[in-house]
Homo-oligomer: A and B are copies of this chain.
Amino acid sequence: MTSPVTPTTSRRGFLKAGLATGGALAAGGAAAQEPDPLITEVQHWAQGFGEGVDATPYGLPIDYESDVVRRNVEWLTADVISSINFTPIHALDGTITPQGCAFERHHSGAIDLPKEDYRLMINGLVDTPLVFTYWDLERFPRENHVYFCECAANTGMEWAGAQLNGAQFTHGMIHNMEYTGVPLRTLLNEAGIRTEGKWIFVEGADASSNGRSIPLDKALDDCLVAFKANGEALRKEHGYPVRLVVPGWEGNLWVKWLRRIEVTDGPVESREETSKYTDTLANGISRKWTWVMDAKSVVTSPSPQSPITHGPGPLVITGLAWSGRGAIQRVDVSIDGGKTWQVARLAQPGQPMALTRFYLDIEWDGSEMLLQSRAMDSSGYVQPTKNELRDVRGLNSIYHNNGIQTWWVKANGEAENVEVS
């Protein structure tokens, strides 16, 4: 393994040997004056002017990156208006997810809701039922936090074994954005919660309304009524103009186009929170209210959609780790299917309920690898293997699969989604 900061001689080795791939010039100052044939044969500097600053008032990715987009899986749902799309995590680095390619899911389509028409009602067991306009919300003290939003069904297809071939599809039902909004407790306190109020029921303005019950203690803790993500207005598909942010908890609770918050004395047990988003165990009994997303991680590169395109030598292994119960404290990486582990380097100290980027910089010997990552969070929880999960949960589950993922990286650099026993 190489040091995270000091390059090894072997790195220089691959560069010296690398002329065929545009590597080093022959050593020596004089030689440095000789043009690299590869430099003269490609136009690697401009012969004329490029685009002006007025060309892109709002810019999009360059055409060469047109494959770095959200994708949905046609067979996964009956219709695209109640479906999911996936963040291209295999092609991203860092931790922030741009809104334009950030995972989103909706139950009756992304609706068009102008700020002028927006209303948020707080009613039920409150002293003063209130209705807020969008501009009312902008008058309350705001907070900013980077949080991940993960669908409870992320990795759900993998319960029965390796299914989908690509980190985007196995783990891409997640995004990580800097949300700006008003603490939900501020608005609830404004209405005044009666002593009988123990839960809230939140609804969206879309046709599904997507009602969800949330215990009052979570509502009063860290939930945000958010109107911006990564600094700018929420995109239409992320709930413009206002969505709920429920840090560390299932994405389906992060109600978009937030319309109504009713304070109740108990959970509503709506269709979508009973027939769906529950975990049926081997004995047929379903666990409900399993809102918190446990510690999880995945190697994003190399991976099936991000194969190794070079030979043996220096290789950057990277991925993402997160926990709904706190901050990521450590990530281990195995290249031999979990027999041995190395401590990965965290790009930054883990932040509560936010994605953490990890790296392991190795000298790849060119032989095949069984790549795995294992996350540990500030609660002391360690990410389990898929079989450890199955022993406890059986095979009837869809949601909350946070088992350790394995990529079989072959000698030719290609990777496949596999399971190790």
Chain A residues within 8 Å of B, Cβ to Cβ? 2-7, 11-12, 14-16, 18, 21-25, 27-29, 31-32, 36, 38-39, 42-62, 64-65, 68-72, 79-81, 83-85, 91-101, 104-106, 108-119, 121, 123-124, 126-133, 135-136, 138-144, 178-180, 183, 185-186, 189-190, 205-207, 209, 228, 230-233, 235-237, 240, 257, 259, 309-310, 313-316, 318, 345, 347-348, 357, 359, 361
Contacts and interface: CB of A to CB of B under 8 A. Distances in A.
9 residue pairs, one from A and one from B, having the closest CB atoms? A50-B109, A52-B80, A32-B129, A57-B69, A50-B111, A22-B133, A49-B109, A45-B205, A144-B347
A95 B144 contact: yes
A12 B128 contact: yes
B316 A240 contact: no
A68 B232 contact: yes
Given A94-B228, A231-B92, A207 B131 contact: no
B46 A130 contact: no
Contacts of A347: 142-144
A367 B178 CA distance: 34
Contacts of A55: 80, 110, 237
A165 B396 CA distance: 62
A314 B51 CA distance: 45
Contacts of A128: 12, 16, 24-25, 27-28
Q: How many copies does the complex hold?
A: 2
Contacts of A56: 70, 100, 235-237
Contacts of A31: 129
A207 B2 CA distance: 38
A135 to B, nearest CB: 6
Nearest to A347: B144
Residue among A56, A85, A231, A309 facing the most chain B CB atoms (10 A cut-off)? A231
Given A50-B106, A139-B316, A240-B62, A131 B94 contact: no
A363 to B, nearest CB: 10
Contacts of A32: 123-124, 126, 129
A26 to B, nearest CB: 8
